[in-house]
A and B are shown apart, each in its own frame.
Chain A
Amino acid sequence: MADPIQAVPTPGSGAHAHGGESHIASDPHHVHVVPMKILVGVFALLLVLTVLTVAVTMVDFGRTANVWLALGIAVAKAAAVALYFMHLRWDSPFNGLILISALFFVALFIGVVVLDAKEYYINYQPPITQSPQ
């Protein structure tokens, strides 16, 4: 029985180690196991980024900058989860393509809607509140 640990690529040996046709008919034990070091490292990184995202909220960088900073940290965390916990770094690139295309369409949707909302915002009038007199 092949030792599955042997299937672990050394860091930098490339994400393509298991892609493509090459292993289609290979033995069933030919699986990629994420090294413990990477799992613990990603976990620690996520905790650090969580503390960081709470911390930057307490500093005033301006309203817009704070939003983008929070989103940037969230994207970094999401990328770490997707690449390592969800195994995309070593997966068939097609799975990553599905994720990216979903994100693309979400971004397209939000982008166009925000543009449209902006157009209407110019005409936006606060409703007249009536005095109870």
Chain B
Amino acid sequence: MSELVDKQRAAVAEMGDTFSPKRDHHVHPPHLAHHFDTPEQQFSSGKLGMWAFLATELLMFGGLFCAYGVYRHNHPEVFMYAHHYLSTFWGAVNTVILISSSFTMAWGVRCAQLGETRKLVILLALTLLGGFGFMIIKGIEYAEKYQHDVWIGAGNMYHKNYHGDHLPQEPPANQPDPTMDLSGQRAEGEPFASPAAEARGAVGGAGMAFEAGRPVPHDPNLPSPAAEGPQRLRRFGPEWIDPHAGTGDEARIRPTQVIPAGLAPDVVHQHEMELAYAQLPEFERDRISTFFSIYFVMTGLHGIHVLVGMGLIAWVLFRAWGGEFGPAYFAPVDLVGLYWHLVDLIWIFLFPLLYLIH
């Protein structure tokens, strides 16, 4: 302790006048702020502050993980169903990208500590590239969800206020029934449903309305679905289903029976989703859109963090380019690295929790 006091006294003595302009540019090394005694103290203080900040970040994401936990605990079937909309492939690729960029970042910190400026610049550029790659893939995923109407809030076809603005099939204007029709010409114009529609029509039905309908805002003044022809199909979730398929076991079994052989894999997938949807308890179907809310808020907040991290890396890259970092001063590289690793850390949990549900 006395050593520090001596140092401070010596510094004060050298400074002379307290208000001298020399004050900020005296005694200390170029990057040492005058309120720190030593570069080590400055570095460890900065690091402590960064960790305190990262703790608050974890608490913020903790709230979202909490929402996730409660919702998944109460509605495991919904998660089983809805996670099929997420691409495990893209999720895994993004995981590898983030882990790789974390690796180049940690390597970059090492290079900064060793004063290898050229390598540091290259590694920071690679890290930044990883950030771009991650965001581009996230953009591809988001765009796909937007196109398929599994978007946020009422833009999600499972949402109770869904307007169906982006639906490829709209009920014809001259059809008074508000439930989404798929009959006659429309069935033929629908590439996915038409073979299945014919098959369903041939099998016939028990005549009971299948109450799956999202989105089917029903107007009681209009004819009931049962009054229509046997080939009417009602829009539900990912595809169309026969309203006369009956309920209970009959409805559960039928969708598999009508998958025609030799269909393209994505069409088969559609039918599998129909089957899965039919197996969901009715009251759970209303909750599917909440899965997507959780998905978009969690990955969205994480994506914002990736963007912020990319900005920070670009800033550090710019400074590294100027040769500012070396063994004596590398704190910005290290602390930005900590932030980037935290972003990686959160994704490490998001990937299995959202994409890999079994």
Of the residues B4, B38, B76, B107, contact of A63 by C-beta under 8 Å: B76
Cross-chain contact A54 with B88 (CB below 8 angstroms): yes
Mask: chain B, 67-104; 1 = CB below 8 Å from A; 0 = not: 00110011010000000000010001001100110110
Contact between A110 and B69 (Cβ–Cβ < 8 Å)? yes
A24: which of B29, B40, B179 is its contact (CB, 8 Å)? B40
Q: Is the CB of A43 within 8 A of B55?
A: no
User: Which single member of B48, B216, B358 contacts A94 (CB below 8 Å)?
Assistant: B48
| Cα–Cα, bound, A99→B40 (Å) | 21
Q: Check B228 for interface membership: any CB of A closer than 8 A.
A: no
A contacts with B: majority SS: helix
9-residue interface stretch from B58-66, B137-145, B313-321? B58-66
Chain A contacts with B in 4-30, Cβ cutoff 8 A: 4-5, 23-26, 28-30
Give a binary string over B35-57; 1 marks a CB under 8 Å from any A CB, 0 the rest.
00111110010011001101110
State how many angstroms separate the Cβ of B105 from the closest Cβ of chain A. Answer: 7
A98/B55 in contact, CB under 8 A: yes
B residues in contact with A36, CB < 8 Å: 107, 110
Stretch at the interface among B161-169, B293-301, B338-346: B338-346
Beta-carbon nearest neighbor of A63 in chain B: B76
Instruction: Check B288 for interface membership: any CB of A closer than 8 A.
Output: no
Which listed segment binds A: B14-22, B196-204, B255-263, B348-356? B348-356
Give CA–CA (A58, B352) in the complex, Å: 12
A57-B105 contact, Cβ under 8 Å, with A98-B55, A129-B211 = no
The one of A4, A78, A113, A131 in contact with B114, judged by C-beta atoms closer than 8 angstroms, is A4
A39 to B104: give the CA distance in the assembly, Å.
9
Contact in complex: A85, B106 (CB < 8 Å) = yes
Query: Which residues of chain A come closer than 8 Å to B41, judged between CB atoms?
Result: 24
Cross-chain pairs A/B with CB under 8 angstroms, 22 sampled: A24-B41, A25-B7, A28-B328, A33-B113, A46-B103, A50-B92, A50-B99, A67-B358, A85-B102, A85-B106, A87-B109, A87-B334, A95-B51, A98-B51, A99-B54, A101-B55, A102-B62, A105-B62, A106-B59, A117-B74, A131-B209, A132-B224
Chain A interfacial positions (CB closer than 8 Å to B):
1, 4-5, 23-26, 28-31, 33-34, 36, 39, 42-43, 46-47, 50, 53-54, 57-58, 60-61, 63, 66-67, 70-71, 73-74, 77-78, 81-82, 84-87, 91-92, 94-95, 98-99, 101-103, 105-106, 109-110, 113-114, 117-118, 121, 124, 126-127, 129, 131-133
A-B CB proximity, top 9 nearest: A126-B283, A106-B62, A102-B55, A70-B352, A132-B218, A66-B358, A43-B103, A57-B356, A28-B39
Seed contacts A28-B40, A70-B352; 7 additional CB < 8 Å A-B pairs: A24-B40, A77-B348, A85-B105, A99-B54, A106-B58, A117-B73, A131-B209
